[in-house]
């Protein structure tokens, strides 16, 4: 945990991008929508656009130190099993979820039925972190996954919301448990990506010894 804290601290001002999005930009956008007569549908759209997009921000910047830096082999050699990148990704997802909880406590004061949307959002965020983790280890680079992350979120939020087979986003209201059926598959795919990324990580570790 201490190493994870130091790695986040080492990001300097880049660290503050997700908090600024979650605690300033997104609440202001939703509040402006409410004042203009918007409903929870607009909140769901804004939330799905911004929150999953920045879920992989901290993970990718940490992975950058292992995959893009000179002497990266030494980082893998001195890394213990409990200190694997996989467990870092899970920890960062949980840390990001804590931030999202705070945001949704605010949303709960504006709308009803926000917690089904919350469940969808944290699953989408898990998927984006898993995708970034897998692609980073596959390409041994974090720039391409970062571009794919924002391109995927932008394209499917702006134009292809209704593509059920390849989009993790949902346009219909999140008013009951049935509205989360799609996200069971999204969670399973995220787990598969995490597993694939972990296998790639172990291969990199063996090759570094």
Q: Which of 146, 156, 158, 174 shows the shortest CA–CA distance to 55?
A: 146
| pLDDT for 57 | 96
149 is in which domain, residue-wise? 2-208
Compute CA distances 147 → 142, 143, 152, 166, whole Å: 9, 6, 8, 17
Q: What's the average model confidence in pLDDT over 110-120? A: 91
Q: Each residue of 48-68: pLDDT tens digit? A: 999 999 999 999 999 998 887
| Dihedral, 137, 127, 31, 21 alpha carbons, nearest 10 | -10
Report the C-alpha gap between 137 and 159 in whole angstroms.
Answer: 29
Total domain count, the chain:
1
| Residues counted in the chain | 209
| pLDDT for 175 | 82
Contact (CB, 8 A) for 26 and 103: yes
pTM (2 d.p.): 0.90
Q: Each residue of 74-97: pLDDT tens digit? A: 455 545 555 689 999 999 999 999
| pLDDT for 207 | 65
């Amino acid at each position: 945990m201490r190493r994870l804290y130091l790695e986040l601290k080492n990001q300097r001002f880049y660290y503050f991008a997700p908090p600024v999005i979650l605690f300033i930009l997104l609440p202001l956008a939703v509040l402006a929508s409410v004042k203009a007569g918007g409903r929870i549908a607009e909140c769901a759209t804004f939330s799905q656009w911004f929150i999953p997009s920045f879920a992989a921000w901290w993970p990718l910047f940490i992975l950058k130190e292992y995959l893009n830096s000179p002497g990266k082999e030494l980082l893998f050699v001195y890394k213990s099993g409990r200190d694997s990148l996989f467990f870092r990704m899970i920890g960062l997802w949980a840390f990001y979820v804590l931030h999202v909880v705070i945001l949704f406590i605010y949303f709960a004061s504006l709308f009803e039925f926000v917690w089904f949307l919350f469940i969808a959002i944290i699953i989408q965020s898990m998927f984006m972190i898993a995708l970034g983790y897998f692609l980073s280890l596959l390409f041994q680079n974090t720039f391409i996954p970062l571009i794919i992350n924002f391109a995927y979120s932008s394209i499917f939020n702006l134009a292809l919301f209704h593509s059920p087979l390849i989009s993790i986003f949902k346009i219909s209201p999140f008013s009951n448990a049935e509205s989360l059926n799609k996200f069971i598959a999204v969670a399973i795919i995220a787990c598969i990506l995490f597993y694939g990324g972990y296998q790639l990580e172990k291969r990199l570790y063996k090759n570094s010894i």
